[in-house]
């Protein structure tokens, strides 16, 4: 019994030492990264994400243009974790993990019924930043995820993205960059230009733009409270794996051809089969935040989603006939708790 207690005690001591060593390595990595920010704050900070961020967004019920008098309510949740790793030669690598969930409740007023659907999107990413002479920096970010309702999982649910950006800090108050971003996995690969801008006309005011994702103006009072307008453009794509859809034409053959249609239902057409749904939303509103500790901020972003578009697409990315819908404007409120890096 004494030998067993001794082994347990030894194991606990080793475990505690390993845990302490892990915490020390994390603190050292964060301290080194903060040293880079202190040396070149605007050059480096413009490239770096938050260490930890947790957010929740709610859009209250809004009526849809449908004969069933349907209302739609949306809850969205997201958590992100990024780990900075300092490398020699003015480089650092930031691997990250994220998870997003969109929960949609559709209520049919005529049938007095509610249908709940939840989409999931876990993601892995890696950001590489190289600091260069002359106040230049270059960054490359790659990400991969699977997105869908997860009744089943297959390789066609994989989506991926990449961003390449070169930035120059003309002063501690003005940083501009340009590059390109690409996304693929659902249909063809799409490439868009990317432009970033960070400008501080005064110590209290900061303008930040990243095309094609967001633009904001932020006023900070006493480095404790911040507020200002913000505009966002976002898009989500989720795989649809529905057993009822899979049994119908054009996903599957039918026992007999319907003479009333111009197509032959006894022959499948997988390219026209409903494979995934896309959702594009543009929002505008006001952001307000308060600093809880030295680098932890609690923020709220509320306003109106003035453009919302949903589309059903086949595996090749082509729109399904009759599957495109412009949704009505909707209010939203997003709250976030973020652990920021100093200087960002």
d(CA 78, CA 97): 11
Q: Spell out the residues 6+ positions from residue 6 whose beta carbon is closer than 8 angstroms to its own.
A: none
Query: pTM for the full model?
Result: 0.79
Which residues fall within 8 angstroms of residue 38, CB to CB, at 6 or more apart?
A: 342, 343
Helix and strand element counts for the chain (H, E): 3, 16
Look at residue 37 in the predicted model and tell me its pLDDT: 43
Residue 5: C-alpha distances to residues 2, 8, 11, 14 (Å): 5, 5, 10, 14
Sign of the four-CA dihedral 34, 343, 48, 298: positive
Q: DSSP secondary structure string, 272-288?
A: GS--EEEEEEEEEEEEE
Band the pLDDT of 246: cuts 50, 70, 90.
low
Of 261 and 293, the one with more pLDDT: 293
Q: What is the mean pLDDT of residues 79-107?
A: 93
Strand, coil or helix: what is 297?
strand
CATH 2.40.160, applies to 40-240+275-339: yes
Write the pLDDT tens digit of every residue in 98-132: 999 999 988 776 666 678 889 999 999 999 999 99
Q: Label residue 64 by pLDDT band (50, 70, 90).
A: low
Give the DSSP H or E segment for 298. Answer: strand 296-313
Nearest to 192 by CA among 183, 203, 200, 201: 183
Over 80: is that where the pLDDT of 330 sits? yes
Longest dimension (CA), the chain: 85
pLDDT given for residue 262 in this prediction: 67
- How wide is the angle at C-alpha 322 spanned by C-alphas 112 and 307, nearest 5°? 75
Q: Which two tokens stand for residue 205?
A: 């005011």
**For residues 194 and 177, what is the distance between their CA atoms, to the nearest angstrom?**
8
More confident residue, 148 or 42: 148
Find out whether 125 and 98 touch, Cβ atoms under 8 Å. Answer: yes
CA angle 339, 342, 344 (to 5 degrees): 85
Q: Token pair for residue 262?
A: 């111009």
Ordered by start, the domain boundaries in the chain are: 40-240+275-339
Question: Would you call 166 helix, strand, or coil by DSSP?
Answer: strand
Token pair belonging to 87 = 């490398």
The predicted-structure confidence for 3-59, as pLDDT tens digits, reads as follows 444 443 444 444 444 444 444 444 444 444 444 444 444 444 445 789 999 999 999
Collect all residues with Cβ–Cβ distance below 8 Å to 81 and sequence separation of at least 6.
51, 52, 96, 97, 98
Which of 251, 238, 230 has its CA nearest to residue 305?
230
Positive or negative CA dihedral for 56, 57, 61, 63?
negative
DSSP secondary structure letters along 5-18: HHHHHHHHHHHHHH
Q: Give 2's pLDDT tier (boundaries 50, 70, 90).
A: very low
R_g over Cα of the chain: 24
250: how many CB neighbours lie within 10 A of its CB? 19
């Amino acid at each position: 019994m004494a030998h067993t207690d001794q082994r347990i005690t030894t194991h606990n001591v080793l475990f505690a030492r390993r845990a302490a060593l892990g915490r020390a390595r994390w603190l050292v990595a964060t301290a080194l990264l903060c040293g880079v920010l202190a040396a070149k704050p605007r050059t480096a900070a413009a490239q770096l994400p938050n260490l930890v961020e947790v957010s929740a967004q709610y859009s209250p019920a809004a009526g849809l243009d449908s004969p069933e008098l349907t209302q739609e309510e949306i809850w969205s949740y997201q958590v992100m974790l990024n780990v900075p790793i300092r490398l020699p030669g003015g480089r650092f690598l930031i691997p990250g993990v994220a998870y997003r969930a969109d929960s949609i409740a559709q209520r049919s007023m005529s049938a007095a019924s509610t249908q709940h659907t939840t989409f999931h999107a876990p993601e892995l990413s890696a950001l590489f930043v190289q600091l260069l002479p002359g106040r230049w920096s270059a960054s490359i970010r790659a990400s991969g995820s699977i997105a869908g309702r997860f009744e089943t999982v297959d390789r066609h649910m994989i989506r991926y993205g990449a961003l390449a950006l070169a930035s120059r800090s003309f002063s501690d108050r003005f940083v501009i960059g340009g590059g390109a971003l690409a996304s693929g996995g659902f249909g063809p690969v799409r490439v868009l230009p990317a432009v970033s801008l960070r400008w501080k006309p005064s110590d209290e005011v900061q303008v930040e733009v990243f095309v094609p994702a967001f633009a904001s103006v932020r006023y900070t009072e006493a480095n404790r409270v911040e507020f200002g307008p913000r505009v966002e453009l976002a898009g989500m794509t989720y795989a649809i794996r529905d057993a009822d859809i899979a049994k119908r034409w054009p996903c599957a053959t039918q026992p007999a051809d319907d003479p009333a249609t111009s197509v032959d239902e006894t022959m499948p057409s997988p390219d026209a089969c409903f494979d995934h749904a896309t959702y594009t939303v543009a929002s505008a509103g006001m952001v307000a935040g308060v600093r809880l500790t030295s680098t932890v901020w609690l923020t709220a972003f509320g306003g109106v989603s003035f453009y919302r578009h949903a589309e059903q697409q086949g595996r090749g990315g082509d729109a399904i006939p009759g599957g495109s819908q412009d949704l009505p404007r909707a209010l939203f409120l997003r709250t976030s708790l973020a652990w920021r890096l100093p200087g960002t």
